C-alpha cells in the first residue's frame, strides 16, 4: 500500500469516525467534531489526489468486502484530478461547517444532518477510484442517498425543502437507472465488469452498443451534472439545502457527472464518432445559455448560483465535446487543449462556487433571507464576507484576473482553432460554439454584477439586511481558504500542466496540452499565450500604485447626500433591485424566458375612467420545467390513478395477482 | 529602445492623446453643425480643473464606489501599454491577447457598474443595468470578430495579427476582414458608449447609460473616470485602426521606427475620430430596446466574416 | 481581379438581403432591393466578361428589370400607403437576424457538395444565392405587410438567379425572361390588391384578409 492507499484509507477511516462523532458528540461540540472530520477527510482525499496526479498509481482489489463482485479500486491521473477537487472542496467546507452548523450558526445541527456529511464526502471520494461497474454503481448510489438526506436537512422548517427533496430523489434515481442500464449493457457487451476489461474491449464494440451505452450514460451523468433539460432538481435542491451542503453538491458532486462522461466516453469507450460529441456539445450549449439566462433573472441568491452551476457545467460539456470532435478529426493537440479547458474549468468552478455558496450561507445566516430584492447594504456590515464574495464573483463572471477567465480562454482557444481539413460540420459548429460561450460569458457578467451589486452594495432594503452582522471566524476562515485557492488557480494555472498532460496522455486524447510552466500558459498546437500572473500584477499593481500615490498626496474625500433631483431624501425603495436590474435583459430575451405577467386595474364604483389601484404581478417560471416536466408528471399521475383500480385493498386479490404472475412466468418458460 | 520602454511610451501616448481625441471629435462635430466649438485642448483643461477639486462621495457609497475609477484607469493603462499600437513586439505577449483585452475592458465596465449600484440612487442602478445588458449582448460580436481575425495568423495574439497584416497588406483587405471590420466597428460604438447606442453628451434620464452610472462622481474621481473613458475610446479606435489598416506599425524596436509609428498612429486616430464625429452628426440615439436589433445585425456580420474566411481560406 | 469583384458583388448581394430583414421602413426595403438588383447585375456582368454575348445581354436585362422596373413599380405601390413600416413582424427583428445567421450557415453546409464539384471562385460563392433564397422565404413567411411579402418573393427570385449564374455561368435568356415575366405579373397583381386593400381597410396588413373568410 503506497501513499495514495494510506491517504485514502485514512480518509475513509476518518469518515467513519466523523460519522460516529456526529452521532454521539454532545450538541455543543457536534458541529466542531463533524466539521473537523469533514475537513480531515477532505484533506486526506486531496492528499491522495495530489499524489495520484503527481504520477503515483494505485490499485487494490478487495474481493471479500462485498458478496459476488467484491470491491475493486484504482486511481489514475483522471481519478486523481477529481479526488483533489472533491478533497479540496470538502476540506474548505469542513472548516466552514464548524461555524455554519454551530450553536450561533444557521445550518441544521441535528445528529443525522451532521453524521451523514462525512459519509457523503467519503462516497464522493469513492466514485472516482471505483474500478469496476459494481463498485462504481455502489459508490454512486451511496453518494445519491446521502446527498438526498442532506438536502432534506431543513425539512421541518419549510415545505419547499420537501418539494426539492422529492424532485431530487426522483431525478437522481432516474439518472441512476440510466447509468445502471448503460454500464451493465457495456459490461455485458465487453464480457467483464472490471474497467480494465471494458477498456480493452471498448474500441471493438459494435457502433450500436457503444452509441447506446454512451447515450444512456450521458443521460444519467448529465442529470447528475445538472445539464439542461435534465436540471429541474438543481435549482430547487441547491437553493433549499443547507448552504454548506449546497457548496458540497454544487462544487463537488455535480463534477462527478462530468467525471462519469469523461470516464465512459473517453476512457472506457475510447472516444467515439462525431455525432456523440455534437450531441454533447448541443447539450452543453443549451445548458450554458439557458442556465445563465435563468441565473440573470433569478432574484433568489442561491437559485442564481444554482443556475450558474448549470451554465458552468454546460461550458465544461462544450469543452469535452470539442475534445471529442477534435480527437475524431485527427487533431490530438487541440483535443488535449479542449480537454484541459474542461478539466481546468471544473476545478475553477469548484473553487469559486464553494466560495459563493458559502458566502450565500453567510448572508442567509446574517439576514435570514436569500431574496436579493430585500438585501443590500451588506458591504458595510459584513466587509470580509463581501470581499470574499467579490473574489468568487470575479472568478464566476470569468473576468480577468479571476480564475474562471483562464479556463474560458482555454476553451475559446480550442474552439477558435481552424483546421480546414476537419470538415464542414466543425467549421460551422465552431463559430456557433464561440458565440454561445461569448454570450454566456456576457450574461454571466451581468448576473454576477447583479448578485454583488444589489445583494451587497448600496443601502439595506429591509430591516433584516440592516441588522446583519459579520460571520464567525471559522466561516470566514473556510471562505478565506477557498479564496486563496481561487487566487492560486487564477495566477498560476500553469502548475496544473503536468497533471493535465498525464490525464490527456492516459486517455489518448491529445498530448501535453499546456506547454511550459511558470508564468505564461502556452499551448501545444495553438500559437496563443496568456500570462495570468502579469494580468493580475498589471491590474492590481497599477490600481494599488495609483491609490497609494493619491493617498500620499493627501487629498481626502467628503461625504454628502447623493443627487435626489431636489425632492427629499432618497429612500431604499428608490434603489434598483435585482428584479429591476435584470428587467432589460429579461425583455431582450422575452421569447426564451416567457414571463407570466398580469396587470389588474381596479376602478372605483363611481367611474370606470378613474383608477383605484393597479396591481402588477410577474412570475418567471422555469420554462423547461413547465413545458417538459409538468406534462410528464401529469401523464405519470394519470397512469398511477388508473393503476389504483387494480388495488382495491382486498388481500385475496393481491394474492391472486401474485399467483397469476407466478403461473404466467412458469408458463412462459415452458412455452419457450 | 527596450520593449518595456516602448510600452511605457505607448501608455503615455494613449493617455496624452485620449483627451485630445475627444476635443478633436467635439471640434469636428461643432464645425459640421455650424458652431464655433471649443479648443482642441479643452478636455485637458477640464481634466486639470477637475483634478484640483475635492471629491464628494454619496453618503451611502462604500469602497466599490471609490475603487472603481482606479480599477477603470488601471485596466485602460494596462491595455494601452500592452496592445500593439506602436510596435508589434510588446513586452507582454500574454496580456496583448485579443480575448484578454476584451476581458480587461469588460472588467473596467463592471467596476463602473458596481460603483453605479453602490451609490444607492436610481440613476446609478439604471445606468449599471443598461450598461451590463449592452455589454452582454456585444460579447458574441466581439468574439466572432476575434475568430475571423485570428484566422490570418492562427492565434489571438494581437501582436501576431497586426504583424501578419503588416507583412501582407493585400491579404488584410479581404471580404472577410471587411465584414469583421464592420462588425467590430458596431461593437466598438457600443463598448465606447457612442451614438447610436449611447449619447455621451446627454444628461436626460431616459437616455443616459454611461452618464447615469457616473452621475455621482465629482472632482478628482470624475477626472479619472472621464480620462479613462477617453482612453477606452482611443484604445478601441486604435485597435480598429491597427487591425484593419496595419500600415506604419513598427515591427522592430528601433527608435526611428517607433517615432514614425507614433505619427502614423495619431494620424489614423484623427481620421477614425473625424469619421466617427461626422457620422454622429447624422445619427440619433436608438431606443434601448432597439439596440439588440443593431447588435444582432453586427452579430450576423461577424458570423458572415467567419464563414467567408472559412470559404475563401 | 475578377474574383475580387465577384466576391464584392456576392457580399453586397447577401448583405442587402440581410439588410432587408433588418430594416422596418418599406421605402428602405425597396432601396435595398434596388441595390441587390445592381449586385445581381454585377455578378452576371463579371461572369459574362470574356464568356458570351448572350450572358451579357441577360445581365443587362436583369439589371433593367431588377434594379429598374420592379423597384419602380413597388415604389408606385408605396406612394399609396405613405410612411408605411413593418411595425410588428411575426418574428421580431433580433430573432430574425439570428434566424438569418442560421439560414446562412445552413446554406453554406448544404452547398458544400456543390462547391466541391467545381472549386471555382464562382461556385464557391453559390451558397450566397441559396442563403438569399432561404432568407427570402423567411421574410415572406414572417412579415405582415403585402409589400414585404412580395419583396420576400423577389429575394427568392434573385437568389435563384444568382445560384443559376454562379453554378452554371449563366441561364438561358428565355428562362430568365419567363421567370421575370411571372414576377412582373405578381407585382402588378399586388399593386391592384394593395390599392383595393387600402381602399377597403385603410391598411395593407395581409392578416386582415382573414376577415374575408368569415
Q: What is the DSSP letter of B60?
A: T
Show residues of chain C in contact with A588, CB under 8 Å: 94
* Greater pLDDT, A644 or A125: A125
Angle between helices B122-153 and B98-118 (to 10 degrees): 180
Give the pLDDT score at B247: 81
3-class DSSP assignment, residue A34: helix
Domain ranges of chain C: 2-213
**C7/B296 Cβ within 8 A:** no
Q: Residue C204: is its pLDDT beyond 60?
A: no
Give the pLDDT score at B43: 93
Q: Residue B168: is its pLDDT beyond 70?
A: yes
Residue A293 lies in a domain: no
* Greater pLDDT, C203 or C105: C105
**B292/C11 Cβ within 8 A:** no
Show residues of chain C in contact with A289, CB under 8 Å: none
Determine the distance in angstroms separating the CA of A436 from the nearest CA of chain B, rounded to an integer: 7
Mean pLDDT to the nearest integer, A426-433? 88
The DSSP-derived string for A171-215 is HHHHHHHHHHHHHHHHHHHHT-SBHHHHHHHGGGS-HHHHHHHHH
Sign of CA dihedral A275, A279, A282, A284: negative
Quick one: chain B helix, strand, coil %, rounded to 5?
75, 5, 25
Q: Which of A424, A432, A591 sits opposite C112 (nearest CB)?
A: A424
Determine the distance in angstroms separating the CA of C174 from the nearest CA of chain B, rounded to an integer: 32
- Chain C interface includes A432 (CB < 8 A): yes
How distant, in Å, are the alpha carbons of A229, A531, B57, B112 from that of B119? 39, 34, 8, 11
φ, ψ for residue A61 (rounded to 5)?
A: -125, 125
pLDDT band at C124 (very low <50, low <70, confident <90, very high): confident
Q: Residue A121: is its pLDDT beyond 80?
A: yes
Burial label for B261, CB within 10 Å (0-12, 13-18, 19+), is buried
Interface test with B, best of C10, C13, C91, C97 (most B CBs within 10 A): C97
**A585/B97 Cβ within 8 A:** no
Mean pLDDT to the nearest integer, A108-118? 81
Q: Which of A428, A588, A591 sits opposite C109 (nearest CB)?
A: A428
Give the pLDDT score at C50: 65
A492, A348: one domain: yes
Show residues of chain A in contact with C92, CB under 8 Å: 591
> Domain end: A498, A525, A549, which one?
A549
Q: Residue C82: is its pLDDT beyond 70?
A: no
Q: Angle at Cα C140 formed by Cα C135 and Cα C146, nearest 5°?
A: 140
Q: Residue C78: is its pLDDT beyond 80?
A: no
Q: Which of B179, B300, B307 sits opposite C97 (nearest CB)?
A: B300
pLDDT band at C129 (very low <50, low <70, confident <90, very high): confident
Burial label for A472, CB within 10 Å (0-12, 13-18, 19+), is middle
Q: Residue A84: is its pLDDT beyond 90?
A: yes
pLDDT band at C7 (very low <50, low <70, confident <90, very high): confident
Q: Residue C214: is its pLDDT beyond 60?
A: no
Burial label for A169, CB within 10 Å (0-12, 13-18, 19+), is middle
**A580/B55 Cβ within 8 A:** no
> Domain end: A512, A531, A549, which one?
A549
Determine the distance in angstroms separating the CA of C187 from the nearest CA of chain A, rounded to an integer: 34
**A588/C94 Cβ within 8 A:** yes
Write the pLDDT tens digit of every residue in B102-139. 999 999 999 999 999 999 888 899 999 999 999 999 99
Question: What domain count does chain A have?
Answer: 2
Subunits with 3+ Cβ pairs within 8 Å of A are B, C
Residue A658 lies in a domain: yes
Q: Residue C202: is its pLDDT beyond 80?
A: no
Mean pLDDT to the nearest integer, C86-90? 73
Range of weakest confidence among A482-496, B196-210, C195-209: C195-209
- Chain C interface includes A428 (CB < 8 A): yes
Q: Residue B313: is its pLDDT beyond 60?
A: no
Q: Residue C190: is its pLDDT beyond 80?
A: no
Determine the distance in angstroms separating the CA of B30 from the nearest CA of chain A, rounded to an integer: 30
A388, A490: one domain: yes
Show residues of chain B in contact with A519, CB under 8 Å: 94
- Chain C interface includes A420 (CB < 8 A): no
ipTM of the complex: 0.95
Q: Residue B88: is its pLDDT beyond 80?
A: yes
- Chain B interface includes A548 (CB < 8 A): no
**B143/A438 Cβ within 8 A:** yes
- CA dist., res. A463 & res. B123, Å (int): 24
- CA dist., res. C193 & res. C180, Å (int): 20
The nearest alpha carbon in chain A to B69 belongs to A543
Give the pLDDT score at A436: 94
Write the pLDDT tens digit of every residue in B198-256. 888 777 777 788 888 998 999 889 999 999 999 999 999 999 998 888 888 888 888 88
Report residue B189 as a C-alpha cell: 460604438
Q: Residue A51: is its pLDDT beyond 80?
A: yes
Q: Using CB atoms and an 8 Å cut-off, which of residues 454-493 of chain A contact chain B?
A: 454, 457-459
Give the pLDDT score at A408: 92
For chain B, percent of residues with pLDDT exceeding 70: 97
Q: Residue B1: is its pLDDT beyond 80?
A: no
Show residues of chain A in contact with C110, CB under 8 Å: none
H/E stretch holding A60 reads strand A58-62
Show residues of chain C in contact with A425, CB under 8 Å: 109
Sign of CA dihedral C47, C50, C54, C58: positive
Q: Which of B64, B78, B130 sits opposite A584 (nearest CB)?
A: B130
**B300/C101 Cβ within 8 A:** yes
**A542/B78 Cβ within 8 A:** yes
Give the pLDDT score at A300: 93
CB within 8 Å of A64: residues ≥ 6 apart: A70
Mean pLDDT to the nearest integer, A409-432? 84
The nearest alpha carbon in chain C to B171 belongs to C4
The nearest alpha carbon in chain A to C104 belongs to A428
* Greater pLDDT, B90 or A140: A140
- Measured in whole angstroms, the distance separating CA B40 from the mean position of its chain's CA atoms is 20
Angle between helices A27-53 and A3-24 (to 10 degrees): 170
Give the pLDDT score at A502: 87
Q: Angle at Cα A601 formed by Cα A597 and Cα A602, nearest 5°?
A: 145
User: What are the residues of chain C with a beta carbon less than 8 Å away from any beta carbon of chain B?
Assistant: 7-8, 11, 14-15, 18, 22, 93-95, 97-98, 100-101, 104-105, 108, 115, 124, 127
* Greater pLDDT, A331 or B239: B239
- Chain A interface includes B76 (CB < 8 A): no
Report residue A585 as a C-alpha cell: 435583459
Range of weakest confidence among A86-90, A235-239, A408-412, A528-532: A528-532
Determine the distance in angstroms separating the CA of A43 from the nearest CA of chain C, rounded to an integer: 49
pLDDT band at A46 (very low <50, low <70, confident <90, very high): very high
pLDDT band at C171 (very low <50, low <70, confident <90, very high): low
**C94/A424 Cβ within 8 A:** no
A382, A521: one domain: yes
Mean pLDDT to the nearest integer, B302-311? 82
Give the pLDDT score at C156: 86
> pTM of the prediction?
0.92
Determine the distance in angstroms separating the CA of C125 from the nearest CA of chain B, rounded to an integer: 8
Show residues of chain B in contact with A560, CB under 8 Å: 56-59
Write the pLDDT tens digit of every residue in A511-528. 667 765 566 777 777 778
How many helices (H) and strands (E) chain B has is answered by: 12, 1
- CA dist., res. B297 & res. C22, Å (int): 7
A353, A467: one domain: yes
Give the pLDDT score at A510: 64
Give the pLDDT score at A27: 79
- Chain B interface includes A261 (CB < 8 A): no
User: In 3D, which of A100, A110, A125 has the Cα closest to residue A15?
Assistant: A125
Residue A400 lies in a domain: yes
Task: Judge contact between C86 and C24, C-beta under 8 A.
Answer: yes
* Greater pLDDT, A125 or A654: A125
- CA dist., res. B100 & res. B142, Å (int): 12
Interface test with B, best of A438, A544, A552 (most B CBs within 10 A): A438
Q: Residue B67: is its pLDDT beyond 80?
A: yes
3-class DSSP assignment, residue C202: coil
User: In 3D, which of B112, B62, B63, B125 has the Cα closest to residue A574?
Assistant: B125
Mean pLDDT of chain A: 89
Subunits with 3+ Cβ pairs within 8 Å of C are A, B
Q: Which of C95, C109, C112 sits opposite A591 (nearest CB)?
A: C95
How distant, in Å, are the alpha carbons of A21, A29, A98, A110, B281 from that of A25? 5, 6, 14, 11, 76
Q: Residue C168: is its pLDDT beyond 80?
A: no
Q: Angle at Cα A197 formed by Cα A192 and Cα A201, nearest 5°?
A: 100
CB within 8 Å of A555: residues ≥ 6 apart: B54, B55, B220
Show residues of chain B in contact with C11, CB under 8 Å: 175, 178-179, 308
pLDDT band at A582 (very low <50, low <70, confident <90, very high): very high
Q: Residue C210: is its pLDDT beyond 70?
A: no
Give the pLDDT score at A64: 78
For chain A, percent of residues with pLDDT exceeding 70: 97
The nearest alpha carbon in chain C to B297 belongs to C97
Write the pLDDT tens digit of every residue in A437-466. 999 999 999 999 999 999 999 889 999 999
Give the pLDDT score at A482: 94
For chain A, percent of residues with pLDDT exceeding 90: 50
A629, A528: one domain: no
Give the pLDDT score at A54: 87
Write the pLDDT tens digit of every residue in A252-310. 999 999 999 999 999 898 888 899 999 999 999 999 999 999 999 999 999 999 999 99
Give the pLDDT score at A345: 95
Give the pLDDT score at A220: 95
A375, A503: one domain: yes
> Domain end: A534, A549, A564, which one?
A549
- CA dist., res. B234 & res. B247, Å (int): 18
Mean pLDDT of chain B: 88
Q: Which domain holds residue A512?
A: 344-549
Determine the distance in angstroms separating the CA of B175 from the nearest CA of chain C, rounded to an integer: 7
Residue A261 lies in a domain: no
Amino acid at each position: 500500500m503506497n501513499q495514495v492507499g494510506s491517504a485514502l484509507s485514512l480518509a475513509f477511516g476518518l469518515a467513519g469516525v466523523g460519522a460516529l462523532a456526529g452521532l454521539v458528540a454532545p450538541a455543543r461540540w457536534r458541529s466542531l467534531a463533524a466539521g473537523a472530520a469533514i475537513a480531515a477527510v477532505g484533506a486526506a482525499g486531496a492528499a491522495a489526489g495530489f499524489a495520484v496526479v503527481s504520477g503515483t498509481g494505485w490499485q487494490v482489489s478487495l474481493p471479500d468486502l462485498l458478496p459476488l463482485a467484491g470491491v475493486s479500486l484504482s486511481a489514475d491521473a483522471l481519478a486523481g484530478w477529481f479526488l483533489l477537487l472533491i478533497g479540496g472542496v470538502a476540506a474548505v467546507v469542513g472548516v466552514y461547517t464548524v461555524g455554519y452548523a454551530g450553536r450561533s450558526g444557521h445550518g441544521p445541527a441535528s445528529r443525522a444532518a451532521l453524521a451523514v456529511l462525512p459519509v457523503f464526502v467519503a462516497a464522493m471520494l469513492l466514485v472516482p477510484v471505483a474500478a469496476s461497474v459494481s463498485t462504481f454503481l455502489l459508490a454512486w448510489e451511496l453518494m445519491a442517498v446521502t446527498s438526498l438526506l442532506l438536502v432534506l436537512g431543513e425539512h421541518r422548517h419549510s415545505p419547499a425543502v420537501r418539494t426539492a427533496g422529492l424532485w431530487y430523489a426522483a431525478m437522481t434515481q432516474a439518472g441512476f437507472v440510466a447509468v445502471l442500464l448503460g454500464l451493465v449493457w457495456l459490461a455485458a457487451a465487453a464480457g467483464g465488469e472490471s474497467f480494465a476489461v471494458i477498456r480493452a474491449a471498448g474500441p471493438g464494440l459494435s457502433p450500436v452498443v457503444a452509441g447506446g451505452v454512451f447515450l444512456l450514460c450521458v443521460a444519467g451523468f448529465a442529470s447528475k451534472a445538472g445539464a439542461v433539460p435534465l436540471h429541474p432538481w438543481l435549482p430547487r435542491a441547491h437553493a433549499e439545502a443547507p448552504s454548506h451542503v449546497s457548496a458540497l453538491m454544487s462544487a463537488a458532486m455535480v463534477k462527478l457527472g462530468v467525471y462519469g462522461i469523461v470516464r465512459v466516453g473517453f476512457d472506457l469507450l475510447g472516444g467515439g464518432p462525431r455525432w456523440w460529441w455534437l450531441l454533447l456539445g448541443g447539450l452543453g450549449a443549451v445548458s450554458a445559455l439557458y442556465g445563465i439566462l435563468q441565473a440573470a433573472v433569478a432574484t433568489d441568491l442561491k437559485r442564481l448560483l444554482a443556475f450558474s452551476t448549470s451554465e458552468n457545467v454546460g461550458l465544461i460539456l462544450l469543452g469535452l465535446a470539442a475534445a471529442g470532435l477534435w480527437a475524431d478529426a485527427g487533431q490530438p493537440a487541440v483535443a488535449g487543449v479542449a480537454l484541459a479547458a474542461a478539466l481546468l474549468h471544473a476545478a475553477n468552478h469548484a473553487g469559486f462556487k464553494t466560495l459563493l455558496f458559502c458566502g450565500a450561507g453567510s448572508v442567509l445566516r446574517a439576514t435570514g433571507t436569500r431574496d436579493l430584492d430585500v438585501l443590500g447594504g451588506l458591504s458595510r456590515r459584513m466587509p470580509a464576507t463581501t470581499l470574499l464574495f467579490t473574489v468568487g464573483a470575479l472568478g464566476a463572471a470569468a473576468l480577468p484576473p479571476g480564475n474562471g477567465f483562464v479556463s474560458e480562454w482555454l476553451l475559446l482557444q480550442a474552439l477558435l482553432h481552424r483546421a480546414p481539413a476537419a470538415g464542414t460540420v466543425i467549421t460551422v459548429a465552431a463559430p456557433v460554439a464561440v458565440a454561445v460561450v461569448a454570450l454566456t460569458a456576457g450574461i454571466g457578467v451581468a448576473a454576477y454584477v447583479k448578485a454583488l451589486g444589489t445583494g451587497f452594495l448600496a443601502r439595506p432594503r429591509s430591516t433584516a439586511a440592516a441588522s446583519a452582522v459579520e460571520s464567525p471566524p471559522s466561516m470566514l476562515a473556510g471562505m478565506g481558504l477557498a479564496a486563496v485557492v481561487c487566487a492560486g488557480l487564477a495566477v498560476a494555472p500553469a502548475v496544473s500542466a503536468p497533471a493535465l498532460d498525464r490525464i490527456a496522455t492516459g486517455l489518448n486524447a491529445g498530448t501535453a496540452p499546456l506547454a511550459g510552466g511558470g508564468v505564461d500558459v502556452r499551448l501545444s498546437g495553438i500559437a496563443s499565450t496568456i500570462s495570468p500572473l502579469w494580468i493580475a500584477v498589471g491590474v492590481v499593481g497599477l490600481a494599488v500604485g495609483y491609490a497609494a500615490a493619491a493617498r500620499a498626496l493627501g487629498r481626502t474625500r467628503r461625504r454628502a447626500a447623493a443627487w435626489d433631483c431636489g425632492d427629499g431624501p432618497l429612500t431604499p425603495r428608490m434603489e434598483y433591485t435585482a428584479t429591476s436590474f435584470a428587467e432589460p435583459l429579461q425583455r431582450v430575451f422575452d421569447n426564451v424566458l416567457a414571463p407570466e405577467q398580469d396587470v389588474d386595474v381596479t376602478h372605483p364604483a363611481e367611474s370606470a375612467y378613474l383608477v383605484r389601484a393597479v396591481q402588477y404581478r410577474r412570475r418567471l417560471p422555469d420554462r423547461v420545467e413547465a413545458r417538459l416536466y409538468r406534462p410528464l408528471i401529469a401523464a405519470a399521475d394519470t397512469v398511477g390513478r388508473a393503476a389504483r383500480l387494480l388495488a382495491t385493498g382486498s388481500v385475496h386479490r393481491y394474492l391472486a395477482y401474485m399467483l397469476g404472475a407466478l403461473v404466467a412466468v412458469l408458463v412462459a418458460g415452458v412455452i419457450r | 529602445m527596450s520593449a518595456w520602454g516602448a510600452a511605457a511610451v505607448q501608455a503615455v501616448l494613449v493617455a496624452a492623446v485620449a483627451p485630445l481625441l475627444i476635443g478633436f471629435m467635439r471640434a469636428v462635430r461643432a464645425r459640421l453643425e455650424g458652431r464655433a466649438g471649443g479648443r482642441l485642448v479643452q478636455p485637458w483643461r477640464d481634466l486639470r480643473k477637475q483634478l484640483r477639486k475635492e471629491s464628494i462621495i454619496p453618503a451611502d457609497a462604500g469602497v466599490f464606489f471609490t475603487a472603481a475609477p482606479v480599477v477603470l484607469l488601471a485596466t485602460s493603462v494596462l491595455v494601452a501599454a500592452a496592445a500593439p499600437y506602436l510596435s508589434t513586439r510588446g513586452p507582454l505577449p500574454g496580456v496583448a491577447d485579443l480575448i484578454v483585452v476584451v476581458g480587461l475592458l469588460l472588467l473596467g465596465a463592471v467596476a463602473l457598474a458596481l460603483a453605479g449600484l453602490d451609490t444607492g440612487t436610481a440613476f446609478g442602478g439604471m445606468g449599471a443595468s443598461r450598461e451590463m445588458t449592452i455589454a452582454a449582448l456585444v460579447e458574441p460580436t466581439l468574439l466572432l470578430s476575434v475568430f475571423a481575425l485570428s484566422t490570418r495568423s492562427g492565434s489571438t495574439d494581437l501582436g501576431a495579427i497586426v504583424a501578419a497584416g503588416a507583412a501582407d497588406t493585400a491579404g488584410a483587405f479581404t471580404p472577410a476582414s471587411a465584414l469583421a471590420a464592420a462588425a467590430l466597428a458596431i461593437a466598438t460604438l457600443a463598448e465606447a458608449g457612442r451614438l447610436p447606442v449611447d449619447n455621451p453628451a446627454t444628461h436626460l434620464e431616459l437616455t443616459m447609460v454611461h452618464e447615469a452610472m457616473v452621475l455621482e462622481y465629482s472632482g478628482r474621481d470624475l477626472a479619472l473616470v472621464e480620462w479613462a473613458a477617453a482612453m477606452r475610446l482611443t484604445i478601441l479606435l486604435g485597435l480598429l485602426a491597427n487591425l484593419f489598416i496595419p500600415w506604419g506599425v513598427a515591427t522592430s524596436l528601433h527608435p526611428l521606427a517607433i517615432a514614425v509609428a507614433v505619427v502614423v498612429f495619431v494620424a489614423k486616430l484623427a481620421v477614425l475620430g473625424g469619421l466617427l464625429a461626422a457620422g454622429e452628426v447624422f445619427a440619433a440615439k436608438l431606443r434601448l430596446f432597439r439596440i439588440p436589433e443593431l447588435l444582432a445585425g453586427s452579430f450576423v456580420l461577424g458570423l458572415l466574416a467567419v464563414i467567408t474566411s472559412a470559404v475563401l481560406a | 481581379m475578377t474574383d475580387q469583384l465577384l466576391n464584392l458583388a456576392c457580399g453586397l448581394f447577401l448583405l442587402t438581403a440581410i439588410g432587408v430583414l433588418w430594416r422596418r421602413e418599406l421605402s428602405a426595403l425597396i432601396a435595398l432591393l434596388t441595390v441587390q438588383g445592381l449586385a445581381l447585375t454585377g455578378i452576371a456582368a463579371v461572369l459574362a466578361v470574356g464568356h458570351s454575348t448572350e450572358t451579357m445581354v441577360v445581365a443587362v436585362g436583369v439589371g433593367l428589370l431588377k434594379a429598374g422596373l420592379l423597384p419602380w413599380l413597388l415604389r408606385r405601390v408605396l406612394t399609396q400607403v405613405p410612411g408605411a413600416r413593418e411595425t410588428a413582424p411575426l418574428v421580431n427583428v433580433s430573432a430574425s437576424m439570428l434566424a438569418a445567421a442560421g439560414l446562412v450557415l445552413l446554406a453554406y453546409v448544404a452547398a458544400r457538395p456543390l462547391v466541391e464539384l467545381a472549386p471555382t471562385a464562382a461556385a464557391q460563392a453559390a451558397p450566397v444565392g441559396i442563403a438569399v433564397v432561404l432568407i427570402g422565404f423567411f421574410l415572406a413567411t414572417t412579415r405582415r405587410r403585402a409589400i414585404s411579402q412580395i419583396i420576400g418573393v423577389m429575394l427568392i427570385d434573385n437568389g435563384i438567379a444568382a445560384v443559376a449564374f454562379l453554378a452554371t455561368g449563366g441561364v438561358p435568356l428565355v428562362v430568365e425572361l419567363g421567370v421575370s415575366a411571372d414576377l412582373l405579373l405578381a407585382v402588378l397583381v399586388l399593386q391592384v390588391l394593395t390599392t383595393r386593400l387600402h381602399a377597403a381597410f385603410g391598411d395593407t396588413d395581409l392578416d386582415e384578409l382573414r376577415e374575408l373568410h368569415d
